[in-house]
Amino acid sequence: MRRHSLLLGLFIIVDVLISVLSMGFYSDSWSFDFDIVFKYLVFVDGYDYFTNPMDFVFLSILRLTLIVIAVIFITFHYDSYPKGMFMPMLGVATSCYSYTLVKLLAFSENSRMLRYPGVWLSVVWSMLAALFFSLIWYFVITAHDFDYQLLVSDRFNSVLIEEQQATTTTGSIETAVQRSPEGDYTIQHVSALLRYCQHQWIWFTFGFTFLVIYAVARVFIPAYTGEVIGNIVKKAGIGLLVRSITIMGMLTMVSTIFGGLRGGCFDYATALVNRQIRLDLFRSLVKQDVAFFDITKSGEMVSRLTSDCQTMSTTVSTNVNIFLRNGVMLIGALVFMFINSWRLSLVTFIAIPLLGFITKWYGAYYDRLSEETQTTIAHSNQIAEEVLSTMRTVRLRTLQFYRAIAYMGYTWNNEFCENAILVAVLFYGGHLVMSDMMTVDELITFLLYQMQLGENLYNIGYVVTGLMECVGASRKVFEYMNRNPLIPNDGTMEPKLGGRIEFTDVYFTYPSRPNNPVLKGLNLVIEAGQTTALVGPSGGGKSSIVSLIQHFYEPNSGTVTIDGVNIRDISHTFYHQKISLVAQEPVLYNGSVRYNILYGCDWATEEDMLRASKTANVHDFIMELEQGYDTNCGEKGVQMSGGQKQRIAIARALVRNPVVLILDEATSALDAESEALVQEALNRCARERTVLIIAHRLSTIEKADQIAVIHKGLLVQKGNHAELMMDQSGLYYSLISKQMLAIKIKEQTVESHI
């Protein structure tokens, strides 16, 4: 863009002008003197490193040259621009920054130089120019976001535009994914985590208050440690030594007490944050549609609720604690370092950015090499399985050799960086002591604060690593929290229901199996107050019909209505109070019989429970139990037999007095005695309500008012048992005939064994 072209030109002009004209203020007054500029430019008095500011002009020329070279290269070689140039240029900017501080220290050897306004103007602008240079290189030059390519030719531009349009048209989704900024994604997660901490601001405020007191006490300890060592070296006397040690002991006691209070507040706040995260996640999970649970493993959800939530809350609270503590101590260390010696403090600020850049660059190379090594190992293993590993193994060993060398260099670099600053401070500090610009105990105190500063910086760096771990654990948790159910359940109608259900041209496919349609234009009417049986081969769509009636899923097209009202428009809570299901394998919870019967019906009374239990033919056996309705069913109902569990489930379904009762293979897994008891209960509860039965046994379906035969997602037959048996070419007759034949063969087999 043209404005970025102007930005580059403006930066170059301003950089050169300030670097040159600031030399006109190298005098005791703020008046500009062009003669001074001329004197420095033509080296009238020669070049003295400790007084001549031409170094800043040379740095400006260096930045100008690099920008011009980059622009020219991009202009004539747009497609072949070297993508990895930002890191070297960041190194140049870092070097300019560090060199500027070195020059300031050189000026400080002549105290008169520090009184020149031009010195500070040159130093400040040189550091700002280094920052602007790196930003311009990253946002403008690396992005190629300016118009210099227009100088080439119209043909080049037309080809470029066509390529960009093609990329936008054919790969927009992929490009969007690739350009999605991981940093923004991480910041969003961290911000969401910190918002949870805001809800416990009282405890975090107490913790922060205690933390500040703790950190302030810790900040003073190196100062008095240096004083103790200085008193010993100078033999200042036992009185001063005892005084210093006493103050150190008091500071240690204060830091210990308030450190414990700080830890207690943060730990309690962490527990509250963990509880809130788990509660929000659980609320989100229970609101999800059934399709979500079809594709999500229960073990994964439990893991998110337990370990991931614990990791999130603990990590974010711990790292907030670490960051605040080390932040306060870092500020205190910097203040004391500048009080002791601003010159030595500059030495630290000279070395830290430069060594940090070297470590970052070397570390990035080592990480990249490690990733390539792991990729090669995986590829080598794959080839080895195919008995073709010889050459790959040789290549792998070569890469491993390079990795070993890189690791050795990386380790050496870390060791060097840890000691380089210390050596520089000792060297320059010794010079200051010998020049009577600093005392020995001040140097010792400075070194102690420098070590504390390094520890604080390391711990703050650890916070970044900890937050990355926290973000990794939070991704799925927030994905679950932010997931909107496919079925919103936002209906508000509460009509009076009679129980007539109608499917009109319904097409349905399970979200987890989108390529396998289940219902294919189903038209079905279930009359109110009647018992309707659904029969048909397995996989025909019977259970899907039940799921749609319960509004667990939405049809792809068509409508499902009850008494003429689309079920999606009815209040979710109201609707499910009017519909009950008894499944083949009923689910009982680890609680009393009373708890299981009244589950989900907080409004139900004792009388409602007893009436439902008697109707379900379960009251008598419950009263025979030692604790009656207070008897524990055990986890998943292990204390009850199959027939007992089924009748308790029927009582639970009846306690809400449903308009529609759905029986899904409710007696298929029971023995003859239990089936008789359950069937008797079902016959009782079928009065004056719509009953939908899914069954295969003739004894269960032959008394139904109507039977709907479902095959391959369509209604193929409908009528009562007698009517359907008259059609000997129909599917129902075929199913019943096969069932009767199977029963006959079973009876003959039993007789033969007798």
Question: How many residues are given for the chain?
Answer: 754
pLDDT in tens, 565-592: 999 899 988 888 888 888 877 888 888 8
Cα dihedral 72, 74, 75, 77, rounded to 10, equals 110
In degrees rounded to 5, what are phi and psi of residue 485? -60, 145
pLDDT of 316 strictly over 80 = no
CA atoms within 13 A on the CB side of 144: 15
Single-letter residue type at 538: S
Mean pLDDT of 617-633: 85
pLDDT at residue 181 greater than cutoff 50: no
User: Residues 703-750: pLDDT tens digits?
Assistant: 888 999 999 889 999 998 888 888 888 888 888 888 777 666 766 665
DSSP classification of residue 296: S
Q: What is the DSSP letter of 530?
A: S
> Contact at 8 Å (CB) between 622 and 631?
yes
* CA separation for the pair 349, 98 (Å, rounded): 8
* pLDDT, mean of residues 36-43: 88
Q: What is the 3-state secondary structure (H, E, C) of 558-615?
A: EEEEECCEEHHHECHHHHHHHEEEECCCCCCCCCEHHHHHCCCCCCCCHHHHHHHHHH
First to last CA, the chain: 96
What is the Cα–Cα distance from 205 to 719, expressed in whole angstroms? 73
Provide the pLDDT for residue 42.
86
How many angstroms separate the CA atoms of 422 and 428, rounded? 10
The pLDDT confidence band at residue 411, using thresholds 50, 70 and 90, is low
3-state secondary structure of 685: helix
Residue 660 near residue 580, CB atoms below 8 Å: yes
Contacts of 746 (CB under 8 A, 6+ apart): none
> Residue 518: helix, strand or coil by DSSP?
strand
The strand pair at 579-582 and 660-664 is best described as parallel
Residue 507 has which token pair? Answer: 């097409």
Q: Which two tokens stand for residue 326?
A: 């080390």
- State the amino acid at position 211 in one-letter form: L
Cβ(208)–Cβ(324) below 8 Å? yes
pLDDT greater at residue 672 or residue 451: 451
Of 396-410, 513-527, 547-561, the one with minimum mean pLDDT is 396-410
Q: Is 607 exposed, middle or buried (0-12, 13-18, 19+ CB in 10 A)?
A: exposed
Count CA within 13 A, CB hemisphere, residue 380: 17
Structure tokens at 720: 């009562």
The Cα-based distances of 68 to 12, 56, 73 in angstroms read 9, 19, 9
pLDDT(182) > 60: no
205 or 292: which carries more pLDDT confidence? Answer: 205
- Among 469, 410, 563, 508, residue whose Cα is nearest residue 714: 508
Top-confidence residue, 680 or 54: 54
Per-residue confidence band for 383, with pLDDT thresholds at 50, 70 and 90: very low
The sheet that has 557-562: what strands, in order across it?
517-526, 501-509, 557-562, 565-566
Mean pLDDT, rounded, for 360-365: 54
Which of 617 and 61 is assigned the larger pLDDT?
61
Position 540 scores a pLDDT of 87
Q: Which DSSP helix (H) or strand (E) runs through 154?
A: helix 154-170
d(CA 746, CA 749): 5
* 3-state SS assignment for residue 552: coil
Distance (Å) of CA 650 to CA 15, 214, 661: 85, 63, 10
